[in-house]
Structure formats: structure tokens, C-alpha cells
Amino acid sequence: MKLLACHIENFGKLSDLSVEFSDGINVINESNAWGKSTLAAFLKAMFYGLDAKKEPKAFDKERNIYRPWQGGSFGGELDFEINGKRYRISRSFGRTEKSDEFHLYDLATNLESQDYSENIGVELFELDSASFKRSIYIAQNDCASAASDSINAKLGNLAENTDDINNFEAASSRMKALLLQLTPDRVTGSIKRRKGLITQLEQEIHALEAAQEGLNGVEVMESKVQERIDEMQNIRKDYAAALVIASEDARRKELYAQYDALCEEVADREKKMAVFQSVFPSGIPTQKEFEVQMKNVRLMEEAKAAVRNQAFTPAEKDTWNKLRDMFAMEKPTDERIDAAIQMLSEVDKQKEEIARQEATVSMYEVDLEREAEIPRFGSGYKLFIYIGIGMLLMGIAAYAAFYFKLLENSNAVILTGAVVIAVGLGLVLCGIGIFLRYKTQKSKKAWIDAAEAEHRELEEQHHLLSDTIAAMKENIRTVNAAIREFLGNYRIYCDVKEYPSRLYELKSQIREYERLKARQNVLIQEEESSERLRTEIMTFAEEYGFVLGDDLTAGLNTLQNKATEYKMAANAYQDSLNKKENFQKRQDKSFWSREMRCPYTVTELNHMIEEADRSLDELKTARAQYSKQAEELKEQLDLRDEKAAELLRQRNLQEDDLRTYNLVSAAHSFLQKAKEQLTARYMEPITKGFSKYYQMLTGDGRGEWMIDANINLKVREYGELRDTKWLSAGYQDLTGICMRLALVDAMYKEEKPFLILDDPFVNLDQEKVECGNRLLLSVAEEYQVIYFTCHHSRSPV
């Protein structure tokens, strides 16, 4: 098969590009970024279309990568020849695979051909798109790059060190490692380990399953114990109810005892009361009566005491007798005595008045007999007159002297003044003296008139007083006579002088008489009262059949005590009757039936309840133990559930791991088998082809190389087969191209394809480039080669 020409409408950066292809080598010498890879991709796309999937490590899908940069129709045409027939592939690409269009034309007729379908690539080469690309395309190698493994890297999966057969060992190791990690046959495998864990969990769960049985048993036991507790609690409740009845019985019994005691008490007290009833046949004095009589006793005693206290002493008795005789006839009143005393007092006063009047009379007589003496009146006025005259004289003398010029040297004015003053003064003083003399004479005359009037009055009074004195003396005699008579009535005879004292004594005697008389009256009264009370008390006692004896108080007390005892007995009897009555009232009907309703006593029932409580405690303890046991078993069941969940999880994991293990195991097995088949199918043709090209390249036919089962080339160097990575980069590239060409030989057994080489010798030195070029020229005899380069030095033609 060979390419004839192509026209690129738009594909990636290429647009409206037409290329003619010839047999042998077609060199396209263009600079970098011209679009050599795009042209190669276009050629592949014409046969295979665009890949729907994104290639590993590609940055996007082909459709997106090669969508025309400038827009426009996406696609082109490719003319090729096969088996002597020429065809034209026309493809246009839409946004999706569905909108792609494919046409195949027979160039001989220009009619659409049905010789091949749109899968023309596969139909022609029996290779898929990827295999085609890997095999015929030695992709672009950057001319600037010096990477030693770049050629090898572009030789396709079979020969390149990427992700296919050369990665088999790594893939196999990875799967083995995973299988080892999972293996059910070794303890290092998770499946084996988990199997142990699952077994352990199953055993643990099995062991814990017993807890369910145990729990069931414990719950049954707990339930039984609970039933017994309920039963025992019911029994205890019955006992408690019986205890209430028994307590009631006991209480009633106690009440019966109380009632019987009350009855006995009533009888006993009635008996005692009957004894006292014989003591008081006429009845019992009341308390009030006793109180009255006791009061009488007290009053009687008080009367007696009063009699004793008020009794006269012998002296008082003598006095009493004397005074009683003295005043037997009449007892003077105090008023009379006081009147007599008053009269005596008046007499005394009259006597004193008489004496004084008599003295006055005597004085009047003396005064009447004495010459009246004129008192001396003042003579001071004479001095004023004398001095006044003297001053006048002196003034006159002075004037005379001046007048007679006796005093010539004297100042006339002064002298005149002095004369005037002296005369003036003399005149004033004389005037005063005259006035004073007048006044004195007038006073003297008044005094003499008064003295004469007084004398006359004295005479009149003298006569009057003399009469009065005579009258008073008469009165005194009368009074004394009356008092003497008064005192004589009470056998009192004494001198006039003793009258007052005797009157006072009489008054005292009257007081004493009255006092003694009052005492005498009290005595009589108390004696009478005492006797009356005594009679009354005796009568009272006799009325109730008692004789009190002399000691009324003791008798009365005895009587009262007996009455009190009787009353107490009666009260006690009444109390007991009341108590009995009240007791009877308090009791309900049931009380009067003396039948006991509980066969057990309270003590017996208490004992039975204690027993029941003890049993209940034991049962509750047992229940608590069962409860605790059940709790522990429930914890174990919770643990069982947890372990069951864990077991389920582990089983799921185990299932997953087993599935993974089986799948990985199968995958490993298939991969191993695939590798064996692949190498078996291609090993010999590749070896043969490599030998041919290696010899063509090196001229070395000794076979100092070997291709291993992984189609890895090893070359003998210094006596040892070494991996090509130990070779120089240029040598690696050359051997890689040989391998690639050998591979193409092996793969394309029928129709040989064209080869696209994208500047494969960029890493080689000139010598090696020439070797390569020679190799290519040889290859071009068999294959159509499209050779891209960016430098003419590497062009083989």
C-alpha cells in the first residue's frame, strides 16, 4: 500500500494543505511547529477516524485537539493505492462522532466505492487505531531534545518502555503483591488473617449466644422469683390485714378489761359511799353550811378574843367605878366645861384689862396733874437777819469810804461792784430771816391749841375707864360663883385659882369615862355574840346528829371531814358511773360482741410478718442477683450484637477481598497467558526482522544481541548481555529503530503500511545519522517512508 496524495481542508493548525507522496522516502523538511505531528495524525485519522476516547496522558480527545484553529470544514482527503487500485478517502468531522462523514471513492471511476467501510484502517491493516499508530508512526521527536530514550519511547507499546509488555513484570509484580497481600493461603494475607478473625468472631459469638440462653433462663428464674415476691407480698399483705384485726381484737380485749375494771370500781365505790350514808342519816351538810358554821366558829373565837382583849385592869376598874359614880347623875358636856373654861379665861382677861385700865387711869391722873410744857421752836432765822444786816452795813461803810474818798487808790468800778453785791446780799439774807421767823411763830400757836384739846379728852376718858373697871369686877365675882357651883355638882371643891385646872381635869375624866364605858359596852356585846354563835353552831351540829363537845372547831372539822369523805366517796362513785357511761357510749356495736375475730395474736402475727419480710428480703436479694446477672448477660448480648455486626462487616470485607483476590488472580493468570501468547506470536518474526535491520545498520552479523521474552533487547558488550539502557543514546535510538522496523515486519504480514518517521535521528551524531539514513534507504525499498525533519543534515536524500 502506498500513499499518493492528501489534501487537508482543515485539521488542527493545518489548513488547505496538499501533499503529494511518492514511492520510497518522502522527506518533509520543515521547521519546528510546522505541523508534522498534525499531518501524521491526519493520515491516521483518514484511515481510522478520530479516537472517541482520550488517549492516556493526552491532554484532550483528538477531536478537540485537532479541531481547526481557524474554523472551517474539519477534515480532508487522502489518496492511496492498494493492490493496484487507487482510492480516495474523504472524511469530515463534526462535533461528535455521529456527525462525522466518511466517503471512499474509486479514483478510477471517481465513484463512491464500497470496497471498504469507514473502518478502512482496520480492514486494511487488521490493526486497531492505537496499534497502527504505535507501529507505523515514529512520532515527532523534538530536534532540540537530546533525551536518550526518546526514540525507544516512541517505538510503540511492544517496544517502548511504557505501559504494555515492558510493564508486564511490574504489573505482574503489582498483582502478585496484591495477591500476596490478600492471599487466603498465607498468614500474611488479609483473607487468611480475616478468616482467622472471622472464625474467632464466630466462636466468640457462639460463646456469647449462650448468653441468650442464659438470659432466658435467668429471666425465667427472675420471673419465678418475682412471682414468689408477689406471692409473699400478698401473704405479707394478708398478715398485715390480720395484724390490723388482731390489733383490733387486742384493743377490744383491752377495752373489755377496762370495762370490767370500771364496773368493779363502780361497785366498790358504791359500797364505800353506803358506809358514809349511815353517818349522815339526815343528809350531808352542804359545803356552804360548813362554810357558814366555820365562819361562825371563827367569829365566835374572834368575839372571845375581843372579850379577853377588852377586859378592865383593876386600876381601870377602880377608875370606871369612880367615874361611873361621879357621873351617875349627869355627865357634863364638853361644851359646858369649855364654856366654863372660856368664862374663866374671859375673867382673866377682864382682870388684866382692869389692871391696864387702872394703870391708864393712873396715867391720866398724872397727865392731868402735870403742867403742860411748851416745846422749843427753832431760832435759826436770827442768824440770817444778823448776817444780812452785817452785809448791809459793810456795803454802806464801803460806799461811805468811797464816797469820802478814803479809798482813793481803789478801783472805782470794782469797789462799786463790791458795794452793790454786799448790799444785795445783805438785803436777801434779811428777807430770809424774816420769813423764817414768821413760820416758827405759827407752829408754836398750833401746838398750844392741840395740848389743850388733849387735856380735855383725858379727863373724859378717865371717868369712862373708872366706870368700866367697876363693871368688870362685878362680872368676875359672878363668874367665879357660877363655876364654884358647877364644880360642886361633881364634888369638886377648890380655890378659884384651881378652877381652870379642875375644869380641864373634869374634861379628861369625861374622856376616860366615855372610853371605859365604850369598852364596857364592847365587852358586853362580844360576850353576847360569842354565846349566840356557840348556840347556833351547837344547834347546827345537833340538827345533823352530832354533839360537838367543848372544842367546837375540832368538832366541826371532824364533821366536815366526814362530810368531805362522804362527798368524795359519792363523787368517786359518780365519776366511776360517768366513766362507765362514757366508755359505753364510746364503743360501737361490735364492741359488745366479745368474740375474737383473728385466730392469731398480735405477737404471733408480728412474728409471722417478720418471717415474711425476711423471706421477701431473701427473694429480693435473689431477684437483684438475677437482675445483675441478666444485666451482665445483656451486656454480653450487646457485645454479641457488636461482634455480629463486626462479623458481618468482616464477612463483607472478606467477600470483597475474595472477589478481588479471585479477580486479580484471574487477571494475573490471563495477563500471564496473554504475554506468553503475544511473545510466542511475535518473538520469532521480531527476532528475525531485528537481525535483518541490525545487520543492515551495523553490518554486524554475529548476533551479539538477544531479545528476551518481554521483547526487551539486550546487547552483548564486554562479554555480557546488557540492557540497551546501558548503551549510548545514539546507539539506543538505532537499535530501537531496528526493533520498530522488525515489529512492523512482524505485525504487517500481508499489506505493508507506510512509515512515518518524525526526525528520528535528532540525537545521533553525523556518523550515526548516516548509518540511519542508509538504513532508511534500505527500508524505503520495501516501505513507503514519510520522513519529517527540521534540518537538511539529517535528510537521507
Partner 1 sequence: MRMIHCADLHLDSKMTANLSKDQARERKAEILRTFSKMVEYAQKNNVTAILIAGDMFDTRNVSVNVRNAVRDIIWKNPDIDFLYLRGNHDTDNFLCKLEEIPDNLCLFTNKWVTYSYEKITVTGIELDAENALTAYNSLVLDHEKFNIVTMHGQLAGYKSKDNAEVISLDDLKNKNIDYLALGHIHTFQMEQLDNRGVYCYSGCLEGRGFDECGPKGFVVLDIDPKTRTATTEFVSIAARTLYTIPVDLTGIHTTQEGAERMEAAIAGAGVSSKSLVKFLLQGKVDVECELNTEFLEEQFAEYFYFIKVENQTKLMVNYEDYANDISLKGEFIRLVYASDLSEEEKSLVIRTGIQALQGEEISL
Residue 621 Cβ, how far from partner 1 at the closest point, in Å? 16
Strand, helix or coil at 232?
helix
CB of 158 to partner 1, least distance (A): 6
Shortest approach of partner 1 to residue 668 CB, angstroms? 8
Per the listing, cell 498465607 goes with: 186
CB of 646 to partner 1, least distance (A): 10
Contact 668, 179 (CB under 8 A): yes
Among 108, 111, 146, 170, binds partner 1 (CB under 8 A): 170
First to last CA, the chain: 22
**Contact pattern from residue 102 through residue 141 relative to partner 1, giving x for each residue in contact according to CB under 8 A and a dash for the rest:** --------------------x--xxxx-xx--xx------
CB of 658 to partner 1, least distance (A): 12
**What cell numbers appear for 106 in the block?**
474509486
- Which residue's CB is nearer to partner 1, number 667 or number 696? 667
**What is the DSSP pairing of strand 75-82 with strand 85-92?**
antiparallel
Instruction: Tell me: does residue 747 bind partner 1 (CB under 8 A).
Output: yes
Question: How far, in Å, CA of 256 to CA of 643, rounded?
Answer: 75
Complex with partner 1: residue 85 or 659, whichever CB lies closer = 659
Q: Find the binder of partner 1 among 39, 151, 165, 266 (CB under 8 A).
A: 165
Closest contact distance (angstroms) between CB of 763 and partner 1 is 26
- CA-nearest of 757, 737, 745 to 782 is 745
Distance between CA 158 and CA 676 in Å, rounded?
13
- The DSSP-derived string for 406-473 is S-SSS-HHHHHHHHHHHHHHHHHHHHHHHHHHHHHHHHHHHHHHHHHHHHHHHHHHHHHHHHHHHHHH
The answer to whether residues 739 and 686 touch, using CB atoms and an 8 Å cutoff, is yes
3: its cell numbers? 500513499
Give Cβ neighbours of residue 253 (< 8 Å, ≥ 6 apart): 596
Which residue, 97 or 581, is less far from partner 1 as judged by CB?
97
Q: Is 168 in the site for partner 1 (CB under 8 A)?
A: yes
Distance between CA atoms of residues 387 and 692, nearest Å: 214
Select 484 or 668, whichever has its Cβ closest to partner 1.
668
Q: CB under 8 A: which stretch of 37-45, 173-181, 371-379, 717-725 binds partner 1?
A: 173-181
Indicate whether 546 belongs to the interface with partner 1 (CB under 8 A).
Answer: no
| Residue closest to 77 by CA, chosen among 5, 2, 3 | 5
Of residues 648 through 707, those in contact with partner 1 by CB under 8 A are 656, 659-660, 663-664, 666-668, 670-671, 673-675, 677-678, 682
447 versus 670: smaller Cβ distance to partner 1: 670
Contact region with partner 1 (CB under 8 A), list: 157-165, 380-388, 464-472, 536-544: 157-165
Provide the minimum distance between the beta carbon of 57 and partner 1 in the complex, in angstroms, as a whole number: 10
Report the residue number, 306 or 678, with the smaller CB distance to partner 1: 678
Secondary structure (DSSP) of 557-587? HHHHHHHHHHHHHHHHHHHHHHHHHHHHHH-
The residue within the footprint of partner 1, chosen from 13, 54, 304, 336 (CB under 8 A), is 54
Determine contact, residues 50/66, Cβ cutoff 8 Å: yes
User: DSSP state, 66?
Assistant: S
**Least distance (Å) between residue 789 CB and partner 1:** 28
* 56 is a contact residue toward partner 1 (CB under 8 A): yes
Interaction of residue 45 with partner 1, rule CB under 8 A: no
- Give the integer Cα–Cα distance in Å for 464 and 361: 9
Taking the C-alpha atoms of residue 550 and residue 398, their distance in angstroms, rounded to an integer, is 140
Determine the interface stretch with partner 1 among 5-13, 49-57, 492-500, 549-557 (rule: CB under 8 A): 49-57
Per CB under 8 A, 210 contacts partner 1: no
CB 165 to partner 1: min, Å: 4
**97 closest CA partner among 64, 145, 144, 139:** 64
| Shortest spacing between CB 683 and partner 1, in angstroms | 13
Q: Which residues, listed in sequence order, are joined to residue 706 by a DSSP beta bridge? A: 714
Cβ contacts of 674 within 8 Å, gap of 6 or more: none
Among 30, 32, 53, 111, the residue binding partner 1 under the rule CB under 8 A is: 53
Secondary structure (DSSP) of 3-55: EEEEEEEEETTEEEEEEE--SSEEEEE--TTSSHHHHHHHHHHHHH---SSPP
Q: What angle do CA 439, 441, 444 make, to 5 degrees?
A: 110
**Minimum distance between the CB of residue 747 and partner 1, rounded to whole angstroms?**
5
Stretch that binds partner 1, among 172-180, 201-209, 309-317, 531-539 (CB under 8 A): 172-180
Question: 114 exposed, middle or buried (CB, 10 Å; 0-12, 13-18, 19+)?
Answer: exposed
Count the residues of the shown chain that bind partner 1, applying the rule CB under 8 A.
50
Q: Name which of 592 and 670 has its Cβ closer to partner 1.
A: 670
Nearer to partner 1, 60 or 334 (CB): 60
Interface characters, 702-741, with partner 1 (x: CB under 8 A): ----------------------------------------
| 140 vs 166, beta carbon nearer partner 1 | 166
Nearer to partner 1, 541 or 742 (CB): 742
Q: Which of 4/179 has CB closer to partner 1?
A: 179
Site for partner 1 in 229-288 (CB under 8 A): none
Q: In this complex, which beta carbon is closest to partner 1, that of residue 543 or of residue 631? A: 631
Pick one of 62, 79, 100, 164: the residue that binds partner 1 (CB under 8 A): 164
Which CB sits closer to partner 1, 135 or 763?
135
Q: From the CB of 753, what's the least distance to partner 1, in Å? A: 12
Name which of 54 and 567 has its Cβ closer to partner 1. Answer: 54
- Whole-Å CA distances, 694 to 406, 746, 755, 787: 216, 15, 18, 20
Among residues 501 and 677, whose Cβ is nearest to partner 1? 677
Binding of partner 1 at residue 96 (CB under 8 A)?
no
Listing DSSP states for 721-788 in one string gives EEEGGGS-HHHHHHHHHHHHHHHHHHH-SSS---EEEESTTTTS-HHHHHHHHHHHHHHTTTS-EEEE
Shortest distance in whole angstroms from residue 89 CB to partner 1: 18
Distance of CA 390 to the CA centre of its chain: 132
Burial class (CB in 10 A: 0-12, 13-18, 19+), 275: exposed
DSSP H or E stretch at residue 85: strand 85-92
> How many helices (DSSP H) and strands (DSSP E) are in the chain?
17, 13
Minimum CB separation of residue 209 from partner 1 in Å reads: 15
In the bound state with partner 1, the residue whose beta carbon lies nearer, of 93 and 125, is: 125
Q: DSSP readout, 632-672?
A: HHHHHHHHHHHHHHHHHHHHHHHHHHHHHHHHHHHHHHHHH
Provide the edge-to-edge strand list for the sheet that holds 713-717: 705-707, 713-717, 720-723
- Cβ 663 to partner 1, closest distance in Å? 5
Site string for partner 1, 367-406 (x = CB under 8 A): ----------------------------------------
Q: Which of residues 601-640 bind partner 1 (CB under 8 A)?
A: 627, 631, 634-635, 637-638
Task: Report the residue number, 158 or 243, with the smaller CB distance to partner 1.
Answer: 158
| DSSP H or E stretch at residue 717 | strand 713-717
The residue ranges that bind partner 1 (CB under 8 A) are 53-54, 56, 122, 125-128, 130-131, 134-135, 157-158, 163-165, 167-168, 170-172, 174-175, 178, 627, 631, 634-635, 637-638, 642, 645, 656, 659-660, 663-664, 666-668, 670-671, 673-675, 677-678, 682, 747
